[in-house]
Amino acid sequence: MNARILNLMEEVRSGRCSPEEAADQISGLRLEEVAGFARLDLGRTIRCGVPEVVLAEGKDTTHLVGIMKRYVEVSGRCVASRATEEQAAAIQESVPDLTCEYYPDARIVILTNGTEKPSSGGIVGIITAGTSDIRVAEEARLIAEEMGCRTLTAYDVGAAGIHRLFPALNELRDADAFVVCAGREGTLPAVVAGLVGRPVIGVPVSVGYGYMGKGEAALASMLQSCAVLAVVNIDAGFTAGAFAAQIATGVQRE
Amino acid sequence: MNARILNLMEEVRSGRCSPEEAADQISGLRLEEVAGFARLDLGRTIRCGVPEVVLAEGKDTTHLVGIMKRYVEVSGRCVASRATEEQAAAIQESVPDLTCEYYPDARIVILTNGTEKPSSGGIVGIITAGTSDIRVAEEARLIAEEMGCRTLTAYDVGAAGIHRLFPALNELRDADAFVVCAGREGTLPAVVAGLVGRPVIGVPVSVGYGYMGKGEAALASMLQSCAVLAVVNIDAGFTAGAFAAQIATGVQRE
Amino acid sequence: MNARILNLMEEVRSGRCSPEEAADQISGLRLEEVAGFARLDLGRTIRCGVPEVVLAEGKDTTHLVGIMKRYVEVSGRCVASRATEEQAAAIQESVPDLTCEYYPDARIVILTNGTEKPSSGGIVGIITAGTSDIRVAEEARLIAEEMGCRTLTAYDVGAAGIHRLFPALNELRDADAFVVCAGREGTLPAVVAGLVGRPVIGVPVSVGYGYMGKGEAALASMLQSCAVLAVVNIDAGFTAGAFAAQIATGVQRE
Amino acid sequence: MNARILNLMEEVRSGRCSPEEAADQISGLRLEEVAGFARLDLGRTIRCGVPEVVLAEGKDTTHLVGIMKRYVEVSGRCVASRATEEQAAAIQESVPDLTCEYYPDARIVILTNGTEKPSSGGIVGIITAGTSDIRVAEEARLIAEEMGCRTLTAYDVGAAGIHRLFPALNELRDADAFVVCAGREGTLPAVVAGLVGRPVIGVPVSVGYGYMGKGEAALASMLQSCAVLAVVNIDAGFTAGAFAAQIATGVQRE
Amino acid sequence: MNARILNLMEEVRSGRCSPEEAADQISGLRLEEVAGFARLDLGRTIRCGVPEVVLAEGKDTTHLVGIMKRYVEVSGRCVASRATEEQAAAIQESVPDLTCEYYPDARIVILTNGTEKPSSGGIVGIITAGTSDIRVAEEARLIAEEMGCRTLTAYDVGAAGIHRLFPALNELRDADAFVVCAGREGTLPAVVAGLVGRPVIGVPVSVGYGYMGKGEAALASMLQSCAVLAVVNIDAGFTAGAFAAQIATGVQRE
Amino acid sequence: MNARILNLMEEVRSGRCSPEEAADQISGLRLEEVAGFARLDLGRTIRCGVPEVVLAEGKDTTHLVGIMKRYVEVSGRCVASRATEEQAAAIQESVPDLTCEYYPDARIVILTNGTEKPSSGGIVGIITAGTSDIRVAEEARLIAEEMGCRTLTAYDVGAAGIHRLFPALNELRDADAFVVCAGREGTLPAVVAGLVGRPVIGVPVSVGYGYMGKGEAALASMLQSCAVLAVVNIDAGFTAGAFAAQIATGVQRE
Amino acid sequence: MNARILNLMEEVRSGRCSPEEAADQISGLRLEEVAGFARLDLGRTIRCGVPEVVLAEGKDTTHLVGIMKRYVEVSGRCVASRATEEQAAAIQESVPDLTCEYYPDARIVILTNGTEKPSSGGIVGIITAGTSDIRVAEEARLIAEEMGCRTLTAYDVGAAGIHRLFPALNELRDADAFVVCAGREGTLPAVVAGLVGRPVIGVPVSVGYGYMGKGEAALASMLQSCAVLAVVNIDAGFTAGAFAAQIATGVQRE
Amino acid sequence: MNARILNLMEEVRSGRCSPEEAADQISGLRLEEVAGFARLDLGRTIRCGVPEVVLAEGKDTTHLVGIMKRYVEVSGRCVASRATEEQAAAIQESVPDLTCEYYPDARIVILTNGTEKPSSGGIVGIITAGTSDIRVAEEARLIAEEMGCRTLTAYDVGAAGIHRLFPALNELRDADAFVVCAGREGTLPAVVAGLVGRPVIGVPVSVGYGYMGKGEAALASMLQSCAVLAVVNIDAGFTAGAFAAQIATGVQRE
């Protein structure tokens, strides 16, 4: 932008542009500036490394396709979360020239015009306590990958016995950050946080019945934990994956 | 600001200022601009007609006095809410050259350098169900007056019998907006909203014991009410008074 | 009513009416009066400018049609909220001589005998954070229009990027009051309230999953907001629209 | 350990040790092994870079001093959180040969035998919305520094007007991770997360009255936020500071 | 029972019965006594005037029919609450010799062998705020009638305008007790309690959406009410009707 | 009132009063009428048999004395609930010519000018599970007695063993209605309701710690009870006593 | 009892007792029987092995001493829970001839006339996560000992590092049942339950701040746990100790 | 394991095995040991006597069958809880050579390769208040039987009248532990705990509507109960059955 103002100055000095015209143009630029300031949010992908994710749930297909196409035009790729198989099929049908991948476990659709995912060099480890937590973990995994990270996963380490945890942690030892998904009483994230030296993000999963079921007890016990643990909303795989990718990318960027 | 840029253009054209210098200065101006944009918030008094209100609760006196003096310098008047008598005394002592009024019911301190309250011509009616609600109503009244409104009050119309309501509403018939404060089951705001043709803001008051006591049942019943009623937080006299004053001032401004 | 009593007095004096007959008639009037007092509620449309709105949800069609017809007879127009498409079709079929409009987004049916909406001259601005909030905003819009206001809308200003907010607020700058609908954390109403000088009514929308989802976090954050903001129940588009229309109409009435 | 077993084998072979004695010794070794495995937790400081923090609240002084001295012996430094001034004084008195610093805002006591804090090279940015949030932020700051990070702070950026946020973020632009403390509706962390490219940890602060006050609305709105944001328990400055330091240290370690 | 024991004593004295036999018989009597004491519950109909009511919801038909037949055998009549139309039809089919009435609004089935309802002379007044509350009111009405009371009803007095309340209360002026059903903010019971001199039982009805919807706000506001009002569980028409009938029957019994 | 109007008509006819004057007077009467309608509430003592009870809690003494004196003037007696010993002493001192009784358990002050309590002939049985419930029971007892009932009490029947329940119920067998106070899990009211044939009002008492303590579990279990039981707010001895007295008085009135 | 009746029969037969007298006596016996049945509760100590425990909290000293003396007379020993040091001193003073032990951690007073505790042979293991949990654990310990069990304790095994857990469990390996007390996220009971083959009772302790603090998260996570774990109320050391003693005693009794 | 090491020692001494080989083998054993330590969890069946129970709910059939087959291979038997009839049929079809029993009430599938259940000699008594509680009780029963206990059941003792309770308790008098399932206000477990001398585990059942319905009031009242009672999660028949079996087995094992 400096260049543009400098050019204008040159034109004023050279007489090609009157001071009044220049002042007007600069005011215009300033308006653009203010709008641009507000528009910063548009640049979230560039600024924060977080891709645009559209919540498919509750959106009608036309609307959803419209939004996703717009984002693909702007940034080459677009992710829709909580999408049904029907929505995925409808998207594919509506934009046959774009590539549409559907991940039923994660309920995620990724629409691209061939633009590749970035590559940050960061590594995110993703762990689940049980098999019911995998759908949330997969959401985290796909987002982290969209943000350029490599992912290492160890699913069902709690359900199959804690003996799987130690080898699993060993396999994931290169991770820069961990996402740990757990429902019911949700203690696995604290256990992992007590064993690894890297940041652990706990994701309560809406599993479990009765009192404080559906992830509520998990959320509570993660927030109350003595371990050094940060938490996201129940089932918020997207947030956890993106947060872990931010950490991992930062580690590699230095 | 246009004038300033125009001057700069003239200096460029006249050669008194190089294009590079000018571009730098304009960048500087733009930074100011962006900061100015952000600084809009400082101008809340001017923009929204809402005075600066400092929450005294939990602040130590030095800190509190510092903040209030700064605001008095900027806008001539400053309001502190939830202030203790001790805080009020300490403020008065610290700034003997300013005028410090303390309203113990409302727990409000108003500090001024002699600047008068504005006068908007709007009228706010303030009603309480019982005597315990008066402290909240007084907070609403003082804020509405700070914002330039005249206030009409009818306190304790529920506790003293609903027969007080009708004459009271008659006396308050010129109000442009109503603030109605009630604890326990909190039904008075809906009753008033069903009887007057002007907007009614319900304020749940933290009165009442047992299940959903301390204003919680009042909040719930106001939100569930069939009447056309808007609600603020429990005990939020400030918000209700300011909101009503915004309405009343708008009515008069047209 | 004074005129009517005065006429009666004249008839007593002139002997056209005996004192007994007059006393009886006046008693009748008084009964009417008392009933009329009670009946004030019937006159809500006239008194408060709020139209009758029938909650269609959970009502069987015969019942619903009966109530709506009665209101159309009395006031020319009737609004039913939370109506299904089936209910709308059934209403239209039952009263083919009336005009029945169905707004599927807002789930509102408007039934009229050709009576026009009033025109108050007030303007209500209606804003949504996302597309999921539009259904609630549309309910607010239709009610505000039924109450004689013009409406200006800016939908999806949050979802499409906050850069839409500033131009949108500019387009809505003539609004006398604002209704701002938002789910999840529900921060948009406070942002708008910090930027405009007119009253803002926040409407929490039942969007968002997990902890305090379905509008509960939005309600909480609106009530806790430092901004001057009044709130209605989750999804209560009707109340917000009617409340904003009351404000806007008052502004124009002066 | 292999060496030790090998030696034993040699002794068995050489007859210096009977098979029975050797079997017994190996069993003993195995017990040590198991205990050693369990004892991993002792090494949390080394393993996770998180210092031992003792919760002073509710502990009697003798007990507290005992625990802290033990940790100082092991690792040279010990932190006690939620300590009263009385506890701090009592600690100092009990161990006059150790250095005891008390931070009244953060309610933290740091006891050392002269061992220096580590230095990781990481930078943690700490921001508060208001002045009431500073006590929590200070807890985060002290822990992050104990973990070897440099800290940059910007306090009260919300209360003093959002115009302070932009310069503040500029000053904190080198931070590897951010801790953002806010009470009431708690929106500042999401705002910061939308503006910076580094991980942001939201800390709800127990400020605010009425419905979902005392940090509950803040927690809810942070969890519901669309921004990429991780959250810790209400007032959990320690957890947030340690988590941010883990991120920041990782960034520098690579 | 004294007579029976006395007879036994006579038989002992007369030698017709040995002391051992008598002691055994008395032990038997005592066992009966103890069992009888426990069995008091069986006699609830006689003792408390409350009929046996079977919760049909979630019971399979065979089971339900079996229980109801047993009660009809014992007491001539049996009531099943929360019964579907399918259950009602199945009951009728299974016991063609009994009379089975189904009340779809109240979701109540009454099965009889021709035994008439008792007649206590008591009168219960039943009022609803809206039409959605009628299903609960009808449950109350049918139970009160099963307990021998006459019922007077005034439904929808709130929805159709409070002007219906006064004539309605006039029509119900002979009631010995009132059941008042209301959803949303649930204020009607307190209004009625303030106007009549007889006991009023408030029944919160699971109507209303959003915060504390589904009868929760109604329950809270009834419990917090300043009026003299007793409350039953949300939708508990049965309990309210039976409680009111207990009052009304007592009034007549004296 | 007819007579008064008729007189006025006569005066109009006879020319002693002009039609205009008469119309004015009738308007005045009508205003009185409307006010009178509203004033009904003033007559609560007469209409509903419920005495005026002033909540002393949170009221300053001057205010409290003023209100109580006014009520004593009107009705001869006044009750203040939740009064401290200090308040009671202050009242006595302020109005030495009135009789002031203080019941420390019930925290009730009764102020009279010598007017006797009414006598309705009704009998209210009051039972508590433990000794901690007595303060609430005493509040119920005093109110019931103020309303003219005789009371029979059985305190601590649960704590001292359920064996006290049966003799106690026997002693209370003449009661027309029962108030049963219980904290913790609050099961006694349901037990009593299953054993007596008269209405039982359950009062949850704010006793018990931990999960749903302070009367919350008691409230929940009373509302969920299968027994025919009506409930009042936690600790609402006043409401329960007044409600029971309404029942008991009705029984005797017939 | 049979013997007694048989004797009576003999007396009837022999003429020493008239049939009428015998019938009366038997009625009396039966009344005793019924009362005795009810009185079963008195025999809780004998029947269930659970000693009488008086809640001292909120009781005045006279009352408390009275109750405890009565129990000591009946059963030789009496326990008061949640007693202050003042209450303990007052008890000792009032009954100088009895032995009064006060345990300040557990806030328990044990009053005896020299009667020894029973000895069941059972062993109860009591474990706490932290030092703040000890007060609850001590309550459990004292009750279990009153019920005749030997207790083994391992306190603070979590706070001092999980490496203490394994040796601790080894030391407690003879326990027939375990009581495990933990606050905050409350995971220790599930860990223990996964490692031992005997029943584990989890006791949530009211430790921890913020969201679901004060034992609420602990309760939730214990109830949601996959481990085989039974739970008692927050801080309910008494219940847990007594329950564990019931188990342990049963084991030994066989 | 000592034997194995001793053998190795012998081989070293005898020269059949070199010290190096032996050290390697012992290291291997130690690795096995450590893994085995971790793997302890695998040995839950042996260690704790609790069988592996797979939560079928939400698992797809292939996954479910895979897990169950693995467990059957390891331990001969596997239990799946919350299984639908479809899942049961699919399991049977997939593994025709194994025996698959489906219990529709308990929604439990038991898959075996012919391995018999163990037999511990313990006896578990299982009681329900109503018929709706049977599905939870059956889950408890099947698990207790899988763990080698004999079960005695008394279902519907509350619904059919408390007179069934005493004979039922008599029939169950040999039980070593009791599981008592109850919904709504959930008082039956406390009643049973007051009558029997053996441990009682309360299971709240998700029955009941309105406030704190679906087992929440039952959970609350069980936790608040004065009786010596331990509790499990709402509907947690599995946990209660396994816990009771642990108690019962211990009793017999001694």
Q: D19-48: per-residue pLDDT in tens?
A: 777 766 665 443 333 333 333 333 444 445
Percent of chain A with pLDDT over 70: 83
**C46 near F CB under 8 A:** no
pLDDT for res B252: 67
Q: CB burial class (10 A; 0-12, 13-18, 19+) of residue A192?
A: buried
Answer yes or no: is pLDDT of H160 > 50. Answer: no
Q: What is the pLDDT of residues G8-24, one digit of tens each?
A: 777 888 888 887 777 66
Rounded CA separation B207/B209 (Å): 7
Q: Any idea of the CA torsion for E29, E30, E31, E32, to the nearest 10 degrees? A: 50
- Please name which of E80, E148, E144 lies closest in space to residue E117, comparing C-alpha atoms: E148
Q: Which of B195-204, C38-47, D65-74, F240-249 has the lowest mean pLDDT?
A: C38-47
Q: Which residues pair with F78 in a beta bridge?
A: F111
End-to-end CA distance of chain B: 30
Residue E1 three-state SS: coil
Q: Among all residues of chain C, which has the CA nearest to that of F15?
A: C13
Answer yes or no: is pLDDT of H39 > 60. Answer: no
Answer yes or no: is pLDDT of C105 > 80. Answer: yes
Question: Which chain F positions have a beta carbon within 8 Å of B211's beta carbon?
Answer: 204, 215-216, 219, 233-234
Q: Among all residues of chain E, which has the CA nearest to that of C40?
A: E163
Q: Edge-to-edge strand order for the sheet containing E99-103?
A: E53-55, E77-81, E108-112, E99-103
Q: What is the pLDDT of residues B51-93, one digit of tens each?
A: 778 888 878 888 888 888 888 887 789 999 999 999 999 999 9
- pLDDT classification of D11: cutoffs 50, 70, 90: confident
Q: Which residue has the tokens 């009737």?
A: C78
pLDDT for res D24: 64
Q: Among all residues of chain E, which has the CA nearest to that of H131?
A: E59
Highest averaged pLDDT of the listed ranges E113-122, E176-185, H192-201: E176-185
pLDDT for res E40: 33
* Averaged pLDDT of chain B: 83
- More reliable by pLDDT, A168 or A254: A168
Which positions 95-124 of F are in contact with H (Cβ < 8 Å)? none
pLDDT for res A33: 38
Whether residue H209 and residue E34 make contact (CB cut-off 8 A), yes or no, is: no
Q: What's the ipTM?
A: 0.82
Mean pLDDT for the stretch of residues B211-238: 95
Spell out the residues 6+ positions from residue C149 whose beta carbon is closer than 8 angstroms to its own.
C120, C122, C123, C124, C244, C245, C248, C249
Question: Which chain A positions have a beta carbon within 8 Å of H80's beta carbon?
Answer: none
Report how far apart, in Å, the C-alpha atoms of F168 and of each of E39, F128, F185, G145, H60 are.
20, 11, 21, 35, 60
Percent of chain F with pLDDT over 70: 83
C41 close to B194: Cβ distance less than 8 angstroms: yes
Mean pLDDT for the stretch of residues B204-220: 94
Which of B128, B169, B209, B216 should we substitute to test contact with F (largest number of F Cβ atoms within 10 Å)? B209
- More reliable by pLDDT, E36 or A141: A141
pLDDT for res D2: 45
- pLDDT classification of G146: cutoffs 50, 70, 90: very high
pLDDT for res D123: 97
Q: Of H195, H199, H230, which has the smallest distance from its Cβ to G231's Cβ? A: H230
Q: What is the DSSP string of E115-157?
A: PPPP----EEEEEESSGGGHHHHHHHHHHHHHTT-EEEEE-ST
Rg (CA), chain G: 23
Whether residue F187 and residue H224 make contact (CB cut-off 8 A), yes or no, is: no
Per-residue tokens: H178: 């009791």
pLDDT for res F180: 97
Mean pLDDT for the stretch of residues G136-159: 92
pLDDT for res A164: 67
F51 close to F115: Cβ distance less than 8 angstroms: no
Mean pLDDT for the stretch of residues B185-194: 90
Mean pLDDT for the stretch of residues F148-170: 79
Q: What is the pLDDT of residues H6-23, one digit of tens each?
A: 777 788 888 888 877 776
Answer yes or no: is pLDDT of C160 > 70. Answer: no
* Averaged pLDDT of chain G: 83
Q: Among all residues of chain H, which has the CA nearest to that of G54?
A: H226
pLDDT for res A22: 76
Highest averaged pLDDT of the listed ranges B191-200, C6-15, D122-131: D122-131
**H211 near E CB under 8 A:** yes
Q: Among all residues of chain F, which has the CA nearest to that of B167?
A: F35
A214 close to A234: Cβ distance less than 8 angstroms: yes
Answer yes or no: is pLDDT of F160 > 70. Answer: no
Whether residue F42 and residue B167 make contact (CB cut-off 8 A), yes or no, is: no
Which of E53, E212, E214, E233 should we substitute to test contact with H (largest number of H Cβ atoms within 10 Å)? E233
Q: What is the pLDDT of residues G26-38, one digit of tens each?
A: 654 433 333 333 3
Whether residue E197 and residue F230 make contact (CB cut-off 8 A), yes or no, is: no
Spell out the SS3 assignment of chain H: CHHHHHHHHHHHHCCCCCHHHHHHHHHHHHHHHHHHHHHHHHHHHHHHCCCCEEECCCCCHHHHHHHHHHHHHHHCEEEEECCCHHHHHHHHHHCCCCEEEEECCCCEEEEECCCCCCCCCCEEEEEECCHHHHHHHHHHHHHHHHCCCEEEEECCCCCCCHHHHHHHHHHCCCCCEEEEEECCCCCHHHHHHCCCCCCEEEEECCCCCCCCCCCHHHHHHHHHCCCCCEECCCCCHHHHHHHHHHHHHHHHHC
* Averaged pLDDT of chain E: 83
Q: Which residue has the tokens 């925290």?
A: F107
pLDDT for res H26: 63
pLDDT for res C152: 97
Q: Which of B43-57, D211-225, H29-43 has the lowest mean pLDDT?
A: H29-43
pLDDT for res G24: 63
Whether residue D184 and residue C226 make contact (CB cut-off 8 A), yes or no, is: yes
- More reliable by pLDDT, E61 or E39: E61
pLDDT for res B234: 97
Give φ, ψ of G71 to 5 degrees: -65, -40
Mean pLDDT for the stretch of residues H152-171: 75
Mean pLDDT for the stretch of residues C230-242: 96
Query: Are chains B and D in contact at 3+ CB pairs closer than 8 Å?
Result: yes
Per-residue tokens: B195: 């009887």
> Which segments of chain E does DSSP mark as H helices, in order?
2-13, 19-39, 44-48, 61-75, 85-94, 134-146, 165-171, 188-193, 216-224, 237-253
Which of D211, D212, D216, D221 should we substitute to test contact with B (largest number of B Cβ atoms within 10 Å)? D211
Q: Which of B103-112, F27-36, G56-65 has the lowest mean pLDDT?
A: F27-36
- Please name which of D220, D224, D240 lies closest in space to residue D232, comparing C-alpha atoms: D240
pLDDT for res A184: 93
pLDDT for res F164: 66
pLDDT for res H201: 98
Residue D189 three-state SS: helix
pLDDT for res H40: 33
* Averaged pLDDT of chain D: 83
Q: What is the pLDDT of residues H202-226, one digit of tens each?
A: 999 998 899 999 999 999 999 999 8
Question: Which chain C positions have a beta carbon within 8 Å of F6's beta carbon?
Answer: 19-20, 23
pLDDT for res C163: 57
Rounded CA separation G147/E215 (Å): 47
Rounded CA separation D214/D204 (Å): 9
Q: What is the pLDDT of residues E64-121, one digit of tens each?
A: 888 888 888 878 899 999 999 999 999 999 999 999 999 999 999 999 999 999 888 9
Whether residue H230 and residue G236 make contact (CB cut-off 8 A), yes or no, is: no
Per-residue tokens: A216: 């509520």
- More reliable by pLDDT, H243 or A14: H243
> Which segments of chain D does DSSP mark as H helices, in order?
2-13, 19-39, 44-48, 61-75, 85-94, 134-146, 165-171, 188-193, 216-224, 237-253
Rounded CA separation F121/D36 (Å): 80
pLDDT for res B163: 57
- pLDDT classification of B243: cutoffs 50, 70, 90: very high
- More reliable by pLDDT, H158 or B233: B233
**H192 near E CB under 8 A:** no
Rounded CA separation A4/A6 (Å): 5
Spell out the residues 6+ positions from residue H16 whose beta carbon is closer than 8 angstroms to its own.
none
Question: How many C-beta neighbours within 10 Å does residue E75 have?
Answer: 17
pLDDT for res E30: 39
The sign of the torsion formed by the CA atoms of B176, B182, B186, B191 equals: negative
pLDDT for res H4: 57
Q: Which residue has the tokens 């510092």?
A: B66
